[in-house]
Structure 1
Amino acid sequence: MKMKWSLNELKRYLNEPFIFSDSVDLKESLVKREEEILDVSPIHLDGILTVNDDELILHMNVSLKLTLPSARSLEPVLFPMDFVIDEVYIPKSDSYEKPVDEENVVIYLEHDWIDLSESIVDSILLNLPLQVFTEEEEKSHNMPSGNNWTVISEEDYYHSEEKESEETIDPRFAGLKDFFKQDESGNQEED
Structure 2
Amino acid sequence: MLNWDVQDVRRYKDKPFEFEEELDLTKELTTRSKDVLDADKVLVKGQLFNDNGLVISDVKIKTTLTVPSTRSLLPVELPVDVRVNEAYNVDSVADEEELEQYNVVIPVDDENPTINVYESVIDNILLSIPSKVLTKKEEEENIMPSGKNWEVISEDDFNSQKEEEHVNPEFAKLKNLFNNNDDKE
User: TM over 0.5, yes or no?
Assistant: yes
Please give the secondary structure, in 1, of the residue aligned with 2:11. helix
User: What residue number does 2:40 align with?
Assistant: 41
Larger fraction in helix: 2
Q: Is the 8 A contact 1:14 1:53 kept in 2?
A: no
| Structure 2 runs not aligned, ≥5 long | 174-185
Matched, 1:118 2:119: yes
Unmatched 5+ stretches in structure 1: 176-191
Once the two structures are superposed, what CA deviation does each residue of 1:123-148 show, in whole Å capped at 9, x if it has no partner? 11221111211111112133221111
Measured after TM superposition, the shift of residue 112 of structure 1 is 0.5
In structure 2, the partner of 1:16 is 15
Distance 1:86 1:149, change over 3 A: same
Q: Secondary structure at the match of 1:122?
A: helix
Q: Is the 8 A contact 1:58 1:86 kept in 2?
A: yes
RMSD, aligned α-carbons: 2.3
Query: Would you say 1:74 and 2:73 are equivalent positions?
Result: yes
Alignment coverage as a number of residue pairs: 171
The Cα offsets for residues 48-84 of structure 1, whole Å up to 9 and x where unpaired, read as 1112451101111111101001122211100001111
TM-score, normalisation: structure 2? 0.82
Give identity over the alignment, percent: 34
Range 23-32 or range 80-89, more displaced: 23-32
- 1:32 shift after superposition: 1.3
- TM score, norm. by length of structure 1: 0.80
Deviations for 1:149-177, whole angstroms, at most 9, x for unmatched residues?
10111211122122223x2649xxx66xx
SS at match of 1:65: strand
Q: Is the CA contact (8 Å cut-off) linking 1:63 and 1:83 kept in structure 2?
A: yes
